[in-house]
């Protein structure tokens, strides 16, 4: 399994988020620091458990009356028929007129900025947990996960081993950490079966040295030098707290997602999707649109 391109993509996205965070911080230096209220870590929202979403209402069909079809051509492509129809022009609503500038825009803008500053003073900003995880599995030992974590605001990446099965963590979308902040979870993860790797890799790949973890609640250990600022580990510790307190809920949801995935694979194997016929309609306007940059 190759994780380098995936982790590189996470790093690029994280760098973009950090840049935006820096711009936000620069524009709000005069804003009072938000009040941080310690709390018990909790999961925000639901955890996907494989239950399919409710069916969407069917979209209204677009039907062109036969009298408005001027020409028809058909093409066969990969087992489907593509029908192209030239039709009579359809009247479209005019584009909305631009709204005139409000003379009180500056006043409204100033009032909005003040309301925003008041809100930020009492509401901690939402953070992002950007992580890449590889879960090492074996038939003879519990799963162990090697995690790369990129803190916000340009912090150095942190690598740690965890006794948490991060496959279960993957169902979490957002959490409230013990520092009172809300964090959105962006996790890219994968599995490596160490038994299968040892049997089939023929010496080309060797599992890393996985540290021993004591029995009991899930925990983690930093690889290398611990971060100078221990507060960057608060959301990571919160994830472990949630794993310990919500294990049954996380495991049940994971089992449901796996069951739904397997059922879906079996269904698709028995009922492979078939290409659908499509119809494309077009018409020509009486007055061609002006070419950008051309003289009028």
User: What pLDDT sits at residue 36?
Assistant: 55
Tell me the pTM: 0.70
User: What pLDDT sits at residue 153?
Assistant: 77
* Percent residues over pLDDT 70 in the chain: 77
Alpha-carbon distance 159 to 131, whole Å?
Answer: 10
Q: Which long-range contacts (CB under 8 A, 24 or more apart) does 225-233 make?
A: 227/151, 227/155, 227/156, 227/158, 229/155, 231/179, 232/151, 232/155, 232/158, 233/158
Binned at pLDDT 50, 70 and 90, residue 291 comes out as: low
* Residue 98 reports pLDDT greater than 80: yes
* Residue 138 reports pLDDT greater than 50: yes
Binned at pLDDT 50, 70 and 90, residue 148 comes out as: very high
Binned at pLDDT 50, 70 and 90, residue 140 comes out as: confident
Compute the mean pLDDT over every residue in the chain, rounded to the nearest whole number: 82
Q: Which two tokens stand for residue 159?
A: 């690598």
Helices (H), 181-246: 194-200, 234-245
Domain ranges of the chain: 4-22+126-270
Place of tokens 């409204």: 108
Binned at pLDDT 50, 70 and 90, residue 19 comes out as: very low
Q: What mean pLDDT is predicted for residues 257-281?
A: 95
Q: Which of 8-12, 49-53, 72-76 has the lowest mean pLDDT?
A: 8-12
Q: Which of 33-47, 69-83, 219-233 has the lowest mean pLDDT?
A: 33-47
Higher confidence at residue 115 or residue 183?
Answer: 183
Binned at pLDDT 50, 70 and 90, residue 26 comes out as: very low
* Residue 103 reports pLDDT greater than 70: no
| Dihedral of the alpha carbons of 25, 27, 29, 30, in degrees to the nearest 10 | -150
Q: Is 235 helix (H, G, I), strand (E, B) or coil?
A: helix
CA distances from residue 72 to 84, 249, 275 in whole angstroms, order as listed: 6, 57, 21
Higher confidence at residue 154 or residue 107?
Answer: 154
Place of tokens 């006043």: 107
Binned at pLDDT 50, 70 and 90, residue 259 comes out as: very high
Please give the backbone phi and psi of residue 128, each rounded to the nearest 5 degrees, phi first: -130, 130
Alpha-carbon distance 189 to 167, whole Å?
Answer: 7
Binned at pLDDT 50, 70 and 90, residue 46 comes out as: very high
**How are beta strands 278-282 and 80-87 bridged, if at all?**
parallel
User: What pLDDT sits at residue 22?
Assistant: 42
* Percent residues over pLDDT 90 in the chain: 56
Helix 247-270 to helix 234-245 angle (10° resolution) is 80
């Amino acid at each position: 399994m190759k994780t380098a391109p995936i982790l590189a993509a996470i790093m690029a996205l994280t760098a973009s988020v950090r840049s935006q965070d820096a711009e936000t911080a620069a524009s709000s230096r005069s804003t009072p620091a938000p009040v941080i209220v310690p709390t018990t870590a909790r999961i925000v929202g639901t955890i996907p458990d494989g239950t399919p979403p409710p069916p969407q209402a069917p979209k209204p069909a677009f039907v062109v009356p036969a009298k408005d079809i001027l020409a028809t051509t058909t093409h066969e492509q990969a087992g489907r028929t593509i029908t192209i129809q030239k039709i009579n022009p359809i009247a479209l609503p005019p584009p909305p007129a631009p709204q005139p500038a409000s003379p009180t825009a500056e006043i409204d803008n100033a009032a909005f900025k003040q309301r925003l500053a008041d809100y930020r003073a009492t509401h901690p900003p939402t953070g992002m947990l950007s992580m890449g995880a590889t879960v090492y599995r074996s038939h003879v030992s519990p799963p162990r996960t090697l995690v790369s974590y990129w803190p916000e605001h340009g912090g150095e990446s942190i690598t740690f081993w965890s006794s948490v099965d991060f496959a279960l963590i993957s169902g979490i979308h957002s959490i409230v950490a013990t520092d009172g902040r809300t964090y959105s979870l962006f996790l890219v993860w994968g599995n490596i079966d160490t038994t299968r790797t040892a049997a089939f890799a023929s010496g080309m790949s060797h599992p890393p040295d996985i540290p021993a973890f004591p029995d009991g609640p899930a925990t983690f250990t930093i690889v290398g030098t611990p971060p100078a600022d221990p507060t960057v580990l608060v959301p990571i510790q919160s994830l472990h707290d949630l794993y310990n307190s919500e294990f049954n809920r996380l495991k049940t949801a994971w089992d449901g997602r796996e069951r739904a995935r397997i059922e879906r694979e079996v269904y698709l194997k028995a009922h492979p999707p078939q290409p659908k016929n499509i119809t494309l309609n077009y018409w020509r306007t009486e007055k061609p649109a002006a070419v950008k940059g051309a003289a009028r």
